[in-house]
Amino acid sequence: MPELPEVEQMRRSLARRLEHAHLLMFISLRPGFPDLTTVALGLEAIRDAAIRRIDRRGKYLIWRLDSPEGSFALVCHPRMTGHFLWHDETQPLPPHIHAMVRILDSSGEPGLLLWQDVRRFGTLELLPAGRLETGPHALLRLGPEADSWRPDAAALVRAERGRRRSIAAWLLDQENVAGLGAIYVTEALHACGLDPATPASRLSRPDWQRLSAVVRDLLRWAQARGGSSISDYVDSDGGRGSFQLEHRIYGRYREACPDCGTTLGRRAVGGRHIGYCPRCVRLPRFRHLAKQDDIRHRGRIESVEKPVCDSSSERISPMSAQNTSRMLYVGGYGGRRIDPAPAGLVTASLSAWSVTDTGELTPVRTFAGVRDSSYVIPDPAGDLLLAVQESGRGGRFLIVDPRSDSDDPLAAVNIGAGGPCHLTVHGSWVFTANYGSGSISCLRLADDHRQARLVAVIQHSGSSANPGRQEGPHTHWVGIDPASCYLYAVDLGIDAVLRYPLSALLERLETLSAADAAAPTLDFAEVRHDRIVFPDGEGPRHMVFSPDGHCGFVVTELGNRVFALDLTEALPAVRDLGLAGGSEGEANYPAAIRLAPDGRHLATSIRGSNRIGIFVLDGATATRIQNLPCGGVWPRDLFYAADGRTLWCANEQSHEITRFTVAADGTIAGGESVARVSAPACLLEVL
DNA sequence: CATACCTCCTGAGAGC
DNA sequence: TGCTCTCAGGAGGTAT
Ligand SMILES: [Zn+2]
């Protein structure tokens, strides 16, 4: 199975129990496999082998063993199907087990580990530690680890000159980069718009830089997801990865390209196939095939040498922030949701754009140290930005100084929960909505707001009607009403808006904060709140308040509706105001709902049919007056400029910002693409 | 030498 | 149903 992320997952899983364990016996079950016999005999001669560490190099797993006879390395290569699994001896032995390892773990418990390898290509060998550093082993010839591959691009251009092999063959050669295989080569090449058959010698210096950056990001992202689990592959603890759900090209031969719809093809490389999209490739196999009109028609870049912005580039243009009064910040998943990269595409997860009087956007800078910022808000107390970072396991709260020369946030604070997607601030308190964990993290800002500390996590629980999306709580939005009476939390997973009386909550948090102990997790049942219940399966997502704070409007992601909440009631009921946008019968997943600065209109973004709905407010009700195409694909967020004349739309899947002009009657027009930025997820315009 | 092809295996799924 | 065919997370060996 495994490529680097999967072998790394195997390593982590094995290390949990094997590190500091003792290897008691290695039993070969196949007398006919000479390699296994050799390992068994070798280990028989070593008494009392302590397992110091489990390492990984490329796709090799290395058990580091210490014994009175010296140090040894058990070097394992899983090839296609080899892997270890823990065995319960009361159960029958699974098929294709070729060896067993008896151990005594650090707590004195015996364990039996099986080596299973259906196709028998995997290898196990025992080497004296010295031979790892010197011998002729292939392990010694491996190139740099793919997840930290930072090549000297100029040297590669020089080295490849005059050679003919394809870039796919080059990447698969473990002596160039270690750890890549068919999956990640396929995905990385598509992300770079490279045909697998392109000769490696055709790559320019920026091409190599971009390719290596994409490879690093891809592998790190895949590792955070536990790798790819195809068919029934599991790690030694039975765990599955989830990156296979994000394969865009691999395993989709003859299906439609997720980026352009063209039927995917494949190229034979080294006896197997690497998929690709014939239309998305920007660098064809041979230069003479690149017809100018074809390239123009496709809107792709004119020259491969044209510099491409990636997340490691510091400044996009030297223009400084203080020259312009309006600034649009775009947050999102720029580092990882990758694309065939048209010219001018900004791939940062947080970027700043100056807004001219005519509404044009000019990139000012990126923040390379910020990853996956799913939501960004201003700190009302100063000039800082507050954001949440939706990273693999533990989410983070970020404080960013947009004026700083540094690309790194001032602070990145663990929020004790996963998948944050929204946040709000009230004085020195920050609350994050954690979609992944279904919780609210409460953090206290330091006096200068340049640092923060996690004080408590309020954990929701429950589920609702949609088995795929509502198997548990998924807190999607948090906010405080204009009168500062309640902290509202919209939970998509349990079909409810919860409102926590703010003064009581803050009092409790202040007490916890003063105690200066580790942040506790509070069951939401133990924190006073009202529960505003939605119809089953609606999946409430985002909310806005009417200007007087008496009324709330909630858009539901699963039901595609807008609901009104009369917040002056002791227990508000929800009132259905109709479709958020699009049409009945379409698959629509609304994302944003925003109040226009005139206080009389609402805008909704409709993912699916890619529309924007405009509502006119009339007291506690709202009526939809427009249902327009958003100009892009998958409108994830909207933002009204402060003067109310412009509405920005972040199109996550077409990687662009579209712009609408807002008339005095609240209707919008336009939808032209004004900026290319990869996977935008949130917008914030400040003056 | 660099590069393309073949091989070592078993099982799953498609097509007939 | 069963049969044949192709393909699968890899890499080492062998012809050109
Ligand atoms: Zn395509």
- DSSP per-residue letters across A335-401: TTS-----TT-B--SEEEEEE-TT--EEEEEE-TT---EEEEEE-TTSS-EEEEE--SSS-EEEEE-
Q: Comparing A173 with A192, which gets the higher pLDDT? A: A173
pLDDT of residue A342: 55
pLDDT of A261: 84
CA-based nearest residue to A595, from A560, A552, A652, A628: A552
| Mean local confidence (pLDDT), A521-531 | 93
What was the pLDDT predicted at A393? 61
pLDDT reading at A339 higher than 70: no
- Beta-bridge partners for A283: A194
Q: Is the pLDDT of residue A341 over 70?
A: no
Q: Is A160 a catalytic residue?
A: no
Question: Is A300 or A631 the better-scoring residue by pLDDT?
Answer: A631
> Nearest residue (Cα to C1') for B7?
A271
Provide the pLDDT confidence category of residue A289 given band limits of 50, 70 and 90: very low
Strand C within 7 A of A268 CB: no
Higher-scoring residue by pLDDT: A234, A304: A234
Distances (CA, A) of A175 to A11, A57, A172, A669: 21, 12, 9, 55
Please determine, for residue A300, whether its predicted confidence score (pLDDT) is greater than 50: no
Q: Pick the residue with more confidence: A134 or A422?
A: A422
Q: What is the pLDDT of residues A186-204, one digit of tens each?
A: 999 998 889 999 999 999 9
- Per-residue pLDDT band at A333 (split at 50, 70, 90): confident
Tokens standing for residue A287: 């230069």
Is it the case that residue A3 has pLDDT exceeding 50?
yes
**Cβ count within 10 A of residue A251:** 15
Q: pTM of this prediction?
A: 0.54
Average the pLDDT over A467-475 and give the result. Answer: 92
User: In which band, very low, low, confident or very high, does the pLDDT at A549 lie, cut at 50, 70 and 90?
Assistant: confident
How much of chain A, in percent, has pLDDT values that exceed 90? 67
Confidence band for A62, pLDDT divided at 50, 70 and 90? very high
**Band (A87; pLDDT cuts 50, 70, 90):** very high
Q: Residue A299: is its pLDDT beyond 50? A: no
What's the burial of A550, exposed, middle or buried (CB within 10 Å: 0-12/13-18/19+)?
middle
**Out of A153-167, A353-367, A582-596, least confident range:** A353-367
A229 CA to C4 C1' in angstroms comes to: 29
Q: Once rounded to an integer, what is the mean pLDDT over residues A587-604?
A: 94
pLDDT score, position A343: 59
pLDDT of A320: 27
Residues ≥6 apart with Cβ < 8 Å to A638: A592, A594, A603, A604, A605, A612, A647, A648, A649, A650, A683
Which bases of strand B have any atom within 7 Å of the beta carbon of a protein residue? 2-12
Q: Based on the residue annotation, tell me whether A272 is a catalytic residue of this protein.
A: yes
Output the pLDDT for position A307: 29
Choice among A138-142, A530-534, A542-546, A642-646 with the minimum mean pLDDT: A642-646
CA of A338 to the centre of ligand 1 (A): 12
- Tokens in use for A544? 């806005």
More confident residue, A498 or A218: A498
The spacing between the Cα labelled CA in A433 and the C1' in B6, in angstroms, equals 55
Q: What is the pLDDT of residue A293?
A: 25
Using a 7 Å CB cutoff, list residues 370-389 of A near strand C. none
The distance (Å) linking the CA of A420 with the C1' of B12 is 39
Confidence at residue A403, expressed as pLDDT on a 0 to 100 scale: 85
Q: Gap from A673 CA to B6 C1', in Å? A: 51
pLDDT of the residue at A296? 26
Residue pair A635/A664 in contact by the 8 Å Cβ criterion: no
A252, A274 Cβ separation under 8 angstroms: no
Q: Which pLDDT value is given to residue A225?
A: 82
Exactly one of A56, A59, A225, A561 is catalytic; name it.
A59
